[in-house]
Amino acid sequence: MVTNNEMDQVFSALAHETRRTILDCLKHHPGLKVGELAHHFDVSRIAVMNHLAVLEGAGLVTSMREGRTRRLYMNLAPIQMIHDRWSDEYSGYWAGRMTSIKYAAEAAARKKEKGT
Amino acid sequence: MVTNNEMDQVFSALAHETRRTILDCLKHHPGLKVGELAHHFDVSRIAVMNHLAVLEGAGLVTSMREGRTRRLYMNLAPIQMIHDRWSDEYSGYWAGRMTSIKYAAEAAARKKEKGT
DNA sequence: TAATCATGTAATTACATGGTTACTAATAAT
DNA sequence: ATTATTAGTAACCATGTAATTACATGATTA
């Protein structure tokens, strides 16, 4: 089962570009250390650590101690679980790929109009 | 294309139980009016309207004016687009369903331990 | 036209988030 | 043993979020 609280944590973890980029880093470089990871970003190491705490809280990042360092790993299982549940719950409501592309085009057009 | 900003909006829209429940309501009752929707919740009508604004900002809810009322509809296209992109980007990194179930069991166990 | 009803806006409040700097703790290296 | 390195904690600040109450707008209906 996946609780509402867990969903809150997973979705808000994903709702920040830096955190999504962290996941992407860990995808490409599994086992990265905290400091190494922090180098990839403009914000302070502390800010990155805060983001890590959010990701770990959501279960999206796991880590293993190794001396005075910590090795970090991405874990997509929580997303997978939400995905599995939603595929069932909303099966039949998903638009086809073409429909969603059409929606994207319309959204882009709307944004363009706003700009004038 | 789906921009980082759009992803931020979609994920933070989904990161609140009330908003997820709103989507669920609109799934079951498409064309619901604002006031009718608000009745389903404990919080004030204004709070529900704020949540609606967030969902509309993310493109997850659309609406059509009809006299003095507004009819609301769920739109899953933004989620679909993110899903399509991630399936590509992270294909190969998804754990099998069994693995994610195993993860869930471990998470539950960890939580139980903490409680003692 | 006046009364009513469905929405929407403004102002306010409490709390959460994302960031900073300064300091602490613990391991490794000289 | 001292020093440097890596990670974590504390305190703080600005901004954003989620909720509230009170008021405003705008369409129906009596």
**pLDDT tens-digit map of A55-93:** 999 999 999 999 999 999 999 999 999 999 988 888 888
pLDDT of residue A92: 82
Best of A75, A100, A102, A111 to disrupt the B interface by mutation (most B CBs within 10 Å)? A100
Amino acid identity at A84: D
Class in CATH terms, B4-115: mainly alpha
Are B21 and B101 in contact by the 8 Å Cβ rule? The answer is: no
Through-space separation of residue B79 CA and nucleotide C8 C1' in angstroms: 28
For chain A, report the end-to-end CA distance as a whole number of angstroms: 48
Average pLDDT of the segment spanning A108-112: 63
Domain ranges of chain A: 4-115
**CA→C1' distance for B38 and D22 (Å):** 19
For residue B100, the chain A residue with the least C-alpha distance is: A77
Sheet holding A69-74, edge to edge: A32-33, A69-74, A61-66
| pLDDT at residue A116 in the model | 39
What is the pLDDT, as a whole number, of residue A22?
98
**Is B53 within 8 Å of chain A by CB?**
no
CA of B72 to C1' of D24 (A): 23
Q: Supply the pLDDT for residue A50.
A: 98
Question: What residue type is assigned to position B69 of the chain?
Answer: T
Asked if the C-beta of A106 comes within 8 angstroms of chain B's C-beta atoms, the answer is no
User: What phi and psi values does residue B64 have, to the nearest 5 degrees?
Assistant: -130, 125
Size of interface A-B (CB pairs under 8 A): 87
